[in-house]
């Protein structure tokens, strides 16, 4: 099949015979179509206000694909309203790891006044172990020396992640107890159902 290929470097459209589109090609093509016919809701948006979250909230959640384009509408969140921080299993692994850094910037630079940790049912991290992950890494050619650098941390993280609800409680506890997070910032903990979109409160940060 022939595809139309566009190149920034050579700004002309040409056809390549027998070329298979890569994922990157597909995304670039989608982007060109999007930019040419930018939907009106995006045209009317003012980037100057986009940095500060209008609702002064930071959400810390999982990178799970089922949450993409689902968690936000399920919670009535729109573009420009919140900061969203994600990682595998919404886990906090150290006193100044990436999530804590992002929260610090959110609070002190970007006006965030509340934090919401959102775990979800059927989180993939609860189904894996450090040993299975290490085996897969070794099978793909990661060196034993490299594994040894992180195996203790990996165990502490993955092998202690048994249930997504416990993990939310733990993440809230770590944020609240962090000496780097102001005590007047409520930290809520919620559970999200990635099938139905329903949210349940695990910890109400106003009550603590
Ligand atoms: Zn998850």
The pLDDT of 188-200, averaged and rounded, is 98
Cα(191) to centroid(ligand 1), Å: 11
The CA–CA distances, whole Å, from 186 to 18, 118, 129, 167 equal 57, 14, 32, 18
User: pLDDT at position 1, please?
Assistant: 43
Eight-state DSSP code of residue 159: T
Mean pLDDT on 66-82: 95
The residues whose Cβ lies within 5 A of ligand 1, an ion, are 62, 64, 123
Q: Ligand 1 mean position to 164 CA, how many Å?
A: 8
Cα(19)–Cα(15) distance, integer angstroms: 9
CA 67 to ligand 1 center in whole angstroms: 9
Q: Which of 171, 177, 176, 203 lies closest to 190, judged by CA?
A: 203
In the reported structure, the alpha carbon of residue 3 is separated from the centroid of ligand 1 by a whole-number distance in angstroms of 36
Distance 43 CA to ligand 1 centre (A): 33
The pLDDT assigned to 40 comes to 83
User: Span 55-68, mean pLDDT?
Assistant: 97
Q: Distance (Å, rounded) from C-alpha 193 to C-alpha 160?
A: 22
The Cβ of residue 44 has, within 10 Å, a number of other Cβ atoms equal to 7
Please give the distance, rounded to the nearest whole angstrom, from the Cα atom of residue 124 to the centre of ligand 1. Answer: 5
pLDDT at 76 over 70: yes
Split at pLDDT 50, 70, 90, the class of 5 is: low
Residues 6+ apart with CB under 8 A from 118: 59, 60, 61, 62, 71, 90, 168, 190, 191, 192, 199
Tens-digit pLDDT profile for residues 77-132: 988 899 999 999 999 998 999 999 999 999 999 999 999 999 999 999 999 999 99
In this prediction, residue 2 carries a pLDDT of: 47
Using alpha carbons, select from 120, 87, 89, 80 the residue that is nearest to residue 103.
87
Give pLDDT tens digits for 136-166: 999 999 999 999 999 999 999 999 888 999 9
Distance 85 CA to ligand 1 centre (A): 13
Q: Residue 171 Cα, ligand 1 centroid: separation in angstroms? A: 13
CB of 122 within 8 A of CB of 163?
no
Q: What is the pLDDT of residues 167-185, one digit of tens each?
A: 999 999 999 999 999 999 9
DSSP, res 49? G
User: 32 CB contacts (<8 Å, ≥6 apart)?
Assistant: 6
Q: In angstroms, what is the span from residue 33 Cα to ligand 1's centroid?
A: 32
Residue ranges of domains in the chain: 3-37, 48-123+161-203
φ, ψ (nearest 5 deg) of residue 103? -65, -40
Q: What local confidence, expressed as pLDDT, does residue 166 receive? A: 94
Give the 3-state secondary structure of 59-125.
EEEECCHHHCCCHHHHCCCCCCCEEEEEEHHHCCCCCCCHHHHHHHHHHHHHCCCEEEEEEECCCHH
- Do 193 and 121 form a contact (C-beta atoms < 8 A)? yes
Interval 34-56: pLDDT, tens:
999 988 878 776 654 567 899 99
User: What is 48-123+161-203's CATH number, 3.30.460.80, 3.40.1050.10, 1.10.3720.10, 1.10.8.100?
Assistant: 3.40.1050.10
Q: How far apart are the first and last CA of the chain?
A: 61
The CA 78 to ligand 1 mean position distance, Å, reads 22
What are the CA-CA distances from residue 194 to residues 83, 98, 159, 197 (Å)?
20, 25, 23, 6
pTM confidence score: 0.87
């Amino acid at each position: 099949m022939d595809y139309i290929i566009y190149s920034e470097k050579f700004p002309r459209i040409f056809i390549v015979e027998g070329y298979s589109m890569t994922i990157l090609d597909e995304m670039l093509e989608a982007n060109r179509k999007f930019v040419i016919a930018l939907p009106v809701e995006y045209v009317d948006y003012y980037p100057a206000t986009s940095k500060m979250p209008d609702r002064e909230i930071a959400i810390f959640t999982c990178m799970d694909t089922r949450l993409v384009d689902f968690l936000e509408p399920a919670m009535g969140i729109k573009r420009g309203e919140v900061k969203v921080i994600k990682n595998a299993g919404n886990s906090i692994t150290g006193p100044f790891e990436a999530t804590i850094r992002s929260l610090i910037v959110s609070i002190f630079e970007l006006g965030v006044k509340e934090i919401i940790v959102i775990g979800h049912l059927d989180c993939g991290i609860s189904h894996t172990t450090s040993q299975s992950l290490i085996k897969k890494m070794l099978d793909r050619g990661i060196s034993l020396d490299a594994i040894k650098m992180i195996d203790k941390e990996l165990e502490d993280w993955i092998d202690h992640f048994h249930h997504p609800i416990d993990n939310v409680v733990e993440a809230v506890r770590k944020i609240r107890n962090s000496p780097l997070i102001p005590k007047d910032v409520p930290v809520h903990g919620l559970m999200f159902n990635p099938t139905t979109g329903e949210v349940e409160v695990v910890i109400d940060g106003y009550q603590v």
